[in-house]
């Protein structure tokens, strides 16, 4: 490590920044001058107050350590002074991985997969959508509550007609291209980018699949880049799932596959849509635990303003090839066995990617271990089914509260081999109920004034 540090000192680096993730899924950080950096930090860690981080420790046992992962270092171009940045793992003072560290949970999920013998690698391809607004104002206090979005695209792109327009309607080609360039410069492989269905600057940048922990790292860096490039241009990027009433929300469809000895075990040319029995059992596991999974994969009250039955939202718990009205789509673009995967469509980009990927993997492995059948595929446009036929198809939960109740009852599949743990599950549920559900439920909204001011 001393050689690396000397190299960066010689290249004019003045600061070192340490990033880590809290339980809800937001990066935290602190910095130091590079001259103050002691090599012992990389083996013995650097201390911080874990009780001040959401979902972490209580005050009577707050001493916590960060150990930087040297494989993650990059030059942070969004700092004025040249800064070397590293993603860190959270540890207790005995140097053991802290049980509530989301990155540690993701690491344990990868180990659980290898130890299971089912596969040795999982690959993840999230498709995150987001909005780039010209401006965003909001307030929430006892006597004032509002939000105001500004976007020139409201004038040029009609609701639900934002998919693939060219300029001048698509006003943000150059901003997305700059985001892509920054991602590529920092080692994230980008496959494509485009305007998404909604108006007001909805965008999608697709990145190439990667292993679980690495892809979760990439997603955090992805969001960091998107938000900072938007700010550079005087705009605001937001990953909230449903900021605009009456238009499409932002999802994060998650492509998944399992590999063993460099072979895709999800592929079988004789199976439905080219899927193996293991892939179908994996789907069965996702469906069995989907209500609990949604508390982690669609983790905000706002998530369920996107996941509304009866509209074009991925709420229908069926699987199907090439079918975007199903919760699980099997992409059919390629016949190459290496490309065979499943796409789970209900999640959104407000989730903590370390927790979401780990939870999906644990549910899928439970499906494989117990050979859970997913039922028959549905090859119809579910949005257009008659009510009687549609009523037979189950949906994802209708609220965060329902999802948290399900997680409270169904999390045994997550805590196998202490991948997740009871303490984290309880802390997560308590935080969401007290800090988010109650906060929203107890406050009057502008919509209620519109409906009830004259009663």
> Region 264-270: what's the mean pLDDT?
96
Which residues are designated catalytic? 49, 127, 129, 196, 204, 253, 324, 343, 345
* Domain locations along the chain: 14-98, 108-452
Q: What is the pLDDT of residues 125-137, one digit of tens each?
A: 999 999 999 999 9
What's the Rg (C-alpha) of the chain? 22
What pLDDT score was predicted for residue 254? 98
pLDDT tier at 381, thresholds 50, 70, 90: confident
To the nearest whole percent, how much of the chain has pLDDT over 70?
Answer: 97
What pLDDT score was predicted for residue 322? 76
34, exposed or middle or buried, with CB in 10 Å at 0-12, 13-18, 19+? Answer: middle
What pLDDT score was predicted for residue 233? 97
Q: Do the bridges between strand 319-321 and strand 328-330 make them parallel or antiparallel, or are there none, so unpaired? A: parallel
**Phi first, then psi: what are they for 433, rounded to 5°?**
-70, -45
How far CA 328 is from CA of 277, 351, 440, in Å, comes to: 16, 18, 30
Name residue 126's beta-bridge partners.
254
> Region 415-442: what's the mean pLDDT?
96
* pLDDT at 310 > cutoff 70: no
Average the pLDDT over each of 3-7, 235-239, 304-308 and give the range with the smallest value.
Answer: 3-7
Both tokens of residue 259?
A: 């590999």
Separation of alpha carbons 176 and 166, rounded Å: 13
What pLDDT score was predicted for residue 176? 97
Mean pLDDT of all residues belonging to the chain: 93
What pLDDT score was predicted for residue 327? 93
Task: From 180, 146, 215, select the one nearest 358 (Cα to Cα).
Answer: 215
> Region 104-117: what's the mean pLDDT?
98
What pLDDT score was predicted for residue 371? 98
Both tokens of residue 258?
A: 């399992």
Q: What would the 3-class secondary structure string for the chain be?
A: CHHHHHHHHHCCCCEEEEEEECCCCCEEEEEEEHHHCCCCHHHHCEEEEHHHCCCCCCHHHCEEEEEECHHHCEEECCCCCCEEEEEEEEECCCCCECCCCHHHHHHHHHHHHHHHCCCCEEEEEEEEEEEEECEEEEEEECCEEEEEEECHHHHCCCCCCCCCCCCCCCCCHHHHHHHHHHHHHCCCCEEEEEECCCCCCEEEEEECCEEHHHHHHHHHHHHHHHHHHHHHCCCEEECCCCCCCCCCCCCEEEEEEEEECCEECCECCCCHHHECHHHHHHHHHHHHCHHHHHHHHCCCCCHHHHCCCCCCCCCECCEEECCCCCCEEECCCCCCHHHCCEEECCCCCCCCHHHHHHHHHHHHHHHHHCCCCCCCCCCCCHHHCCHHHHCCCCECCCCHHHHHHHHHHCCCCCCHHHCCCHHHHHHHHHHHHHHHHHHHHCCCCHHHHHHHCCC
What pLDDT score was predicted for residue 8? 75
Average the pLDDT over each of 25-29, 89-93, 163-167, 389-393 and give the range with the smallest value.
Answer: 389-393
What pLDDT score was predicted for residue 311? 65
**Which residues have CB under 8 Å from 382's CB, separation 6+?**
316, 318, 323, 325, 326, 390, 393
* pLDDT at 440 > cutoff 90: yes
Separation of alpha carbons 422 and 418, rounded Å: 9
Name residue 87's beta-bridge partners.
19
Angle at 317 between CA 312 and CA 322, to 5 degrees: 65
Class level of CATH domain 108-452: alpha beta
Four-residue CA torsion sign, 67, 70, 74, 79: positive
Separation of alpha carbons 188 and 74, rounded Å: 12
pLDDT tier at 1, thresholds 50, 70, 90: low
Domain 14-98 sits in CATH at: 3.10.20.70
Task: From 15, 6, 19, 16, select the one nearest 354 (Cα to Cα).
Answer: 19
pLDDT tier at 198, thresholds 50, 70, 90: very high
Both tokens of residue 172?
A: 């943000």
Cis peptide before 168 (omega within 30 of 0): yes
Separation of alpha carbons 286 and 412, rounded Å: 14
Both tokens of residue 6?
A: 């000397």
pTM of the model as a whole: 0.96
> Region 53-62: what's the mean pLDDT?
88
Q: What is the pLDDT of residues 316-361, one digit of tens each?
A: 899 998 777 789 999 988 889 999 999 999 999 999 999 999 999 9
Four-residue CA torsion sign, 21, 27, 32, 37: positive
**Phi first, then psi: what are they for 190, rounded to 5°?**
-105, 135
* pLDDT at 413 > cutoff 90: yes
Q: What is the pLDDT of residues 9-41, one digit of tens each?
A: 778 899 999 999 999 999 999 999 998 888 899
């Amino acid at each position: 490590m001393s050689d690396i540090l000397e190299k960066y000192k010689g290249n004019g680096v003045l600061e070192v920044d340490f990033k880590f993730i809290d339980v809800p899924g937001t990066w935290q950080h602190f910095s130091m001058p590079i001259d103050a950096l002691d090599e012992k930090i990389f083996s013995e860690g650097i201390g911080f107050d874990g009780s001040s981080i959401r979902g972490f420790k209580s005050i009577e046992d707050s001493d916590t350590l960060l150990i930087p992962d040297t494989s993650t270092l990059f030059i942070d171009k969004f700092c004025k002074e040249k800064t070397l940045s590293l993603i860190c793992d959270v540890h207790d003072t005995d140097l053991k991985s802290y049980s509530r560290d989301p990155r540690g949970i993701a690491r344990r999920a990868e180990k659980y997969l290898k130890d299971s013998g089912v596969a040795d690698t999982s690959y993840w391809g999230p498709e995150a959508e987001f909005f780039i607004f010209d401006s965003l104002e909001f307030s929430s206090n006892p006597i004032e509550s509002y939000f105001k979005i500004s976007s020139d695209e409201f004038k040029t792109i009609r609701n639900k007609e934002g998919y693939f327009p060219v300029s001048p309607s698509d006003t943000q080609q150059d901003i997305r291209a700059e985001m892509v360039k920054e991602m590529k410069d920092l080692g994230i492989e980008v496959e494509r980018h485009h305007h998404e269905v909604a108006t007001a600057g909805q965008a999608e940048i697709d990145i190439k699949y990667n292993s679980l922990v690495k892809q979760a790292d990439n997603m955090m860096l992805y969001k960091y880049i998107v938000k900072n490039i938007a700010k550079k241009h005087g705009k605001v990027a937001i990953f909230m799932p449903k900021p605009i009433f009456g238009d499409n929300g932002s999802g994060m469809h998650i492509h998944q596959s399992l590999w063993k000895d460099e072979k895709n075990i999800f592929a079988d040319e004789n199976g439905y849509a080219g899927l193996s029995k293991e892939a179908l059992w994996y789907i069965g596991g996702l469906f069995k635990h989907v209500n609990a999974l949604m508390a982690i994969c669609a983790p905000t009250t706002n998530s369920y303003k996107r996941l509304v039955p009866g509209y074009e939202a991925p709420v229908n718990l069926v699987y199907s090839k090439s079918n975007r009205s199903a919760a699980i789509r099997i992409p059919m673009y390629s016949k190459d066995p290496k490309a065979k995967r499943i796409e789970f469509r209900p999640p959104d980009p407000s989730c903590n990617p370390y927790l979401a990927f780990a939870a999906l993997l644990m549910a899928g492995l439970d499906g494989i271990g117990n050979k859970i059948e997913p039922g028959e595929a549905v090859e119809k446009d579910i949005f257009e089914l008659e009510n009687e036929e549609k009523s037979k198809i189950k949906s994802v939960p209708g609220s965060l509260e329902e999802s948290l109740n399900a997680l409270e009852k169904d999390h045994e599949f997550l805590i196998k081999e202490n991948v997740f743990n009871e303490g984290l599950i309880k802390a997560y549920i308590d935080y969401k109920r007290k800090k988010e559900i109650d906060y929203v439920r107890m406050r009057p909204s502008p919509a209620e004034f519109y409906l009830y001011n004259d009663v």
